[in-house]
Structure formats: C-alpha cells, structure tokens
Chains A and B, each alone.
Chain A
Amino acid sequence: MNSGSSQSRLRSIASTLAVALTLVLAAAAGCDSRKEPDLPSVQEKMRETHIYGQSKLRVGVATNEPLMSELRNGKPVGFDVEIARYIAASLGYEGDQRLEFVPVATEERIPALQGGTVDLVVSSFSITEERKKVVSFAGPYFVTTQEVMVPARLKGKISTIEDLRNPDYKICTSGGSTSEAELGSHQVKALVVKTVGDCVAGIRTGRYDAVSSDETILAGFLARHPKEFEIVDMPFGTSELLGIGVPIGDPALRDLVAFFLQKSYQQGRDDQATPWQTAYNRTLGPWLKAEKRQPQPLEVPKLVDFDDKAPAK
C-alpha cells in the first residue's frame, strides 16, 4: 500500500515535469518558428551588391574567341556568353533588354572591372594570385590547360618547349594573359598582341609561326579553320582555372556568383541537366579531345534561397 502510494506520487511528479517540459518545448518551438533565418539569404546579399536596383547588368566578354565568345550577326555567342547569361538570369537580369554585353579585350578585363565600365567579366579569365590582388574571382567554372597551336606547314617541327625557344620561330600570344607569363617563365620570347585572334590572323599571313593560349580558345580557332592548324600538346604542366571576374569592392556580388555556380555544380552532381552542361554541349563539347565536367567552385558561401526546401533527389 505504502509502496503503491509512493509510486503514484512519483508518477504524478513525473507527469508534472513532463507537462511542464512539453509546454516549454512548445514555447521554444513557437519562438523558433518566428525567428529570422541565421544564414544570410540570396535576397539580402542582392541588396548588398552594387548592381541592386540597376536596370541593366553589364558583362564584359571577348568578341574574338570562337567557341568561348565571339560575335555572330552582331550578337555574342559561345560558352562564356552562355555562362554569363545563366549568372545574369540568376541575379535577376534575363533577356536582351536587361543584359548588356560589353566587348573587352584580354588586357582590358582588369581595368574594365576597376573602372566600373562592367559589373562582371566572363572572358576566359584565369584565376591567379597576382590578379586576385586587384579583382575578385568567383569560380572556377572551367579548368583548361596551356597549349600551342601551329599552322599545318609547321606540323611536326614545333613539338617541344625547346622548339618554342628557337629564335627562328616567332611565337605570338595575347597581352595580359596567363600564357604570356607562362611563356616568360619558360624563357620563351613571345610577341605580344591584343587578342589571340590577331595571332591567328598573323599566322595565316605568315607574320607568326605559332600561338600559345588556353586549350579552349585554341580549340575555337581550330574549329574555325580545321584544315589550317593543329594543336600541339605541350608539357607546360600548369592547369588554368577560369573564373568570373568581379570588382574587388563587391564581395556580396562575388558570393552570389559563386553561389549560383555551386548551384549548377550541385545539380550536375545529382545527375540533373545543368546550365553549365547545356552550355558546354552546345559550344566546346564537340571540339575538345577529352570530356570535361564542371569543376567545383571554391569559397562558396552558405546562403538561404527560396528553393532550399525542394527535394534533393
């Protein structure tokens, strides 16, 4: 009898505690449901960028890099352009009325960002430590390697870096590019012109003998003149990470661009169709020797977006 009543007392104390704890938990849950998200949201980041409220987004692109970015009937087309369109649409700028492509040459990319004439640069822009001091990068969105393209007449004659050092051959490259620095580090004397297109035109007129640039850009020119050139696999040994250039004073915009690249990357990981894959298949895909996938973007911030609740699979 005695043990029965003490058991009942214990039970009623446990019940009291359980009711009290449940009420506390319910109150905590109620407060939690009215709380703001801890992580910043895409919209908040948008409000921090310099483009917020701007009627048009200006994206710097090259105009003479076949497959990557070139003018066709006055409109830019290519892999870089498609990536730029995806990023712009994600930022709220969709359609020709809201998106302006600004032609920038290789050496104009950094000044254009610094001078504020463009909001973003998507133009085979390699991420380097040196450049990171003056502009911000989101990406990489592509990994490429340094190659050399020679005309058919020199096929077999230029096949090593040693051959490039031969003063008989005039090697051409675009100014302000990583190729220029790479050639310099291998003691190759190169003639520097404005764009790779100028080099290719120069080779066709006999002014130069070889051009060194990114595999992607060279593949574009090879696609344009398939019978006149050949790409030589040179052991430069470094890979180039192409990124999207953003003004250094706008970290919010850099974060957003990185976030949207990551979104596309994640979709690819989940075997979904991605904007990156579509762009690749329509432009570079058929012309590159090896199949490529979207590289994982670096330094991606965690942001909250409207589609976060969508099922992952």
Chain B
Amino acid sequence: MSAAPTATGGDGPVPPPRTSVPGGAASTIDGTAAASTAVDRPAAGAEGDGAWPAAVPVAEPAEPVVAEVEPGRVRWDPAERRARASQSFWTAVVGVPAIFSVLRLGVEAGGELQTTLLLVANVGPVNLLAGFLTTAARLLSTGLVAVFALGAVLAVSADRLPPGTRRRPLFARWADITPAWVVLASFLLALITWPLLYLPLLLTAFVAAFQLRPGRLHDRVVPRLLLIGALLAGYGWLMLPTLRDAMRQGDEWLVLVLIVVPPLLALFIAGPLPGMVIRPLASVTEVAVLATLIWAAVPVITTPVLPLTVTTVGPESGPTEDVRGHVVTTDDVNMVILQEQGGVRYVPVGLVRAQVLCPSEEELPRHQLRIHDFHVEDSLLEGMGRRVRPVHRIDAACRTPA
C-alpha cells in the first residue's frame, strides 16, 4: 500500500513519508525502498524543473533506522507509545462498564440463568450503561484520583530513586503519559460525585496531582503565610458549624479528623519524597489501590439495575397484596416484576391497583451532620438535586415487609 502514492509521486513535491517503525516492510518488499528513495531524493531530471525548492532540506534516507531494528525486538517511540496508551484507555473506558453491567445483570437476576436472560432481553444497553455510570462514577473517579495523585508525587520524587533502579514507578509512568485534561476531568467527576465529607481529601489529592506547592502562592514568605492563613480561615468559616455539631454529637471524631486534617496535609503533600521511601510506597499503594478497587467494586456489582417499587395487586373489590420488587417490563397483558426476595412475578395489568417507588435501606445515612444544609454524605450533585425537589415522601407501602 505504501507504494501506491509513490507510483505517481514523480509529478511534484511530496513530503517525505513517516518512517514506519518497525520498518520491516520497507526492506522486505522489493522495489519499495527504491521507490521511496525516488521520492525522497527527486530524480535528476525533475530537479531541472525547479519543483523541489532549494531551501527545503531533503529528507535523509531511512536506511539507518531500518538498520538499527533488530529482528524479533520491537522498539516504540514515545508518540507510538502514547497512541497505544490512549487506545488502551478508551478500550478500558468502554469495556469495563460493559463487562460490569453484564455482571450486574447476573447478580440482579439472583444468579438464575433464565432471569438473567429475561433482564438481558428487557434492559436496554443505554439504560444499563447509564445505570452503571450513576452508581460507578464515584468508584471510577476514586481510582483515577488515587492513581494521578500518587503518580504525580512519585514522579516528582523519581530522580531521588537509588542508583541502579531501572524503572520509574508504575503510577508515575501513568501520570506522565496521561493528558492533563483527563486528570482534570477525573477530579471534576470526583468533585461532583464524592460525598461532601470526603471532599477535603480530594483537595489534598488535587494539590498532590497538580504539584501545587505553597511556594506557588507568593515568592516571599510573609505574604505566602498570610495567603495560606486566609485560605485556611475561609475553609474554617465554611466548616465551623459542622465541626461544632460534630463535637456536640460526641462520637463523630472521624468526621472531625476528615474535615480538619486534609487541608493541613495539603501544605506538605506535593513532595518530593526521600529516595528510600519511593519504592516501598509505590509497591504498597499499587496493591492497595487495586485491592480497594476490587473491594469497592462489590457493592457496585450488587447495586440493583432497576428501581425498587411496591406494586399493590388485587381485584377491584377484594383483598390486595403488595409485591415488592423491580419492574422489568410492562406490556398489554402483564407487568413483569422481579421480586426483591427472588423470583419473577407476571402480574396481569388489570390487577395492578397502585405502584410506588421506594428507597432502599442502603441509602440510610450514617451521620447526622450537614454542611450549610447539605448532608455530609450527599455529593454536590445529590445535594443540588435535593434542592430542586426538597420534599421527600416515603409511601406507606414502602414500610411494609417484603
């Protein structure tokens, strides 16, 4: 294929083709090398036409590069490497949610093959993916934020690695090849999906990932200290009512620590770290991040795909029954309900008296604290949503046992 343009290439100036690496093709196909030479170095006859401007340097032949490539060993240049990394990234972005979504359907169906097939037939891929992202955005952003923050700190410390260390830590290499916009997008995703209580930790991670040292605030020490003092005071003013509440409640020491400590840590976290710490830290955090992701993925897989409802079923004037479960589909004849305790019920549409949406017990809050009327366990998105629809009515039917 690479020979195609060269066949007609003699008509005018053609930019030299990018050397393909590995360049086995150039040397193995007969005539290709000759043709490329013809393009790179315009023939003597063409020179007389003045088609090749004198000022434009003529590209050197590709021979040296081809000669360096050893048979059986592949060498990647950084651009190639970046392209491959980007490919893997997007494959992961599309593939992981797809696999998780299918796994979730299996769990949702209670491990029953026929029920899984029923769900597969009725839950659209877009719904599935959207449902997955709603529940997994928090986990995804946590993983990315952890990798980028640790990666940046390890990267800045990498030149202190003991001599003889061959490779930079994995997270540092990942942080190096990731474009800044991906890092920023991960932090933005975390900002809107993390519970408010954990946002101070995100601040620390942000400072680490973007290497924001206090020195960047001001060149001189006194104004720098004043600026830091002002920033901390502003933060304190924002959090003071919550801190007071947490102290009054007595047993909320973790909340106190999670609010107070991270901004102070942010002052020192940017690194660099001492050489002897880097290698163990890199190994431990790699394992820890992986373990955390697996541990945190379990609830994501077990979170239901379909909303929980209670359907009141019964004839017009007669006893009724409450069916608690997830509505899979409704057609002209039946409403198909996947019951909470397992099993599928086909309820004739004519018997459906009422239906209500119910919260699940996993949504119960663990803390009774608010930051300016935003619950500490709500994310910014959820908090804003509650402002749009402030009244939350729990239907009586949701209280009844399954």
Contact = CB atoms under 8 A, between A and B. Distances in A.
Contacts of B394: 305-307
Interface in B195-240: 195, 197-198, 201, 204-205, 208
A2 interface: no
Contact of A37 (B257, B366, B375): B366
Given A12-B274, A19-B281, A29-B197, A311 B396 contact: no
A27 B292 CA distance: 9
A288 to B, nearest CB: 29
A304 B201 contact: no
A308 B368 contact: yes
Given A14-B268, A306-B359, A313-B373, A32 B366 contact: yes
Contacts of A15: 153, 268-273
Counting contact residues on chain A (CB < 8 A from B), the size range is 35 or more
B178 interface: no
Contact of A306 (B197, B267, B320, B364): B364
B262 interface: yes
Q: Which secondary structure dominates where chain A touches chain B?
A: helix
A22 B254 contact: no
Interface in B311-365: 319-320, 359, 361, 363-365
A92 B204 contact: no
B373 A92 contact: no
B365 A308 contact: yes
A153 to B, nearest CB: 49
Interface in A1-60: 9, 11-19, 21-23, 25-30, 32-39, 41-43, 46-47, 52-53
A283 B361 CA distance: 37
Interface in A178-227: none
Given A53-B401, A311-B386, A19 B361 contact: no
B11 interface: no
A311 B274 contact: no
Interface string B359-381: 10101111010100111011000
Interface string B33-72: 0000000000000000000000000000000000000000
Given A18-B204, A309-B377, A310-B392, 10 more contacts: A15-B268, A16-B281, A18-B269, A19-B273, A25-B201, A29-B254, A30-B295, A43-B361, A308-B375, A309-B375
Interface of B: 146, 150, 153, 157, 195, 197-198, 201, 204-205, 208, 251, 254, 257-258, 261-262, 265-274, 277, 281, 285, 288, 292, 295-296, 299, 319-320, 359, 361, 363-366, 368, 370, 373-375, 377-378, 382, 386-387, 390-401
Interface of A: 9, 11-19, 21-23, 25-30, 32-39, 41-43, 46-47, 52-53, 88-94, 97-98, 302, 304-313
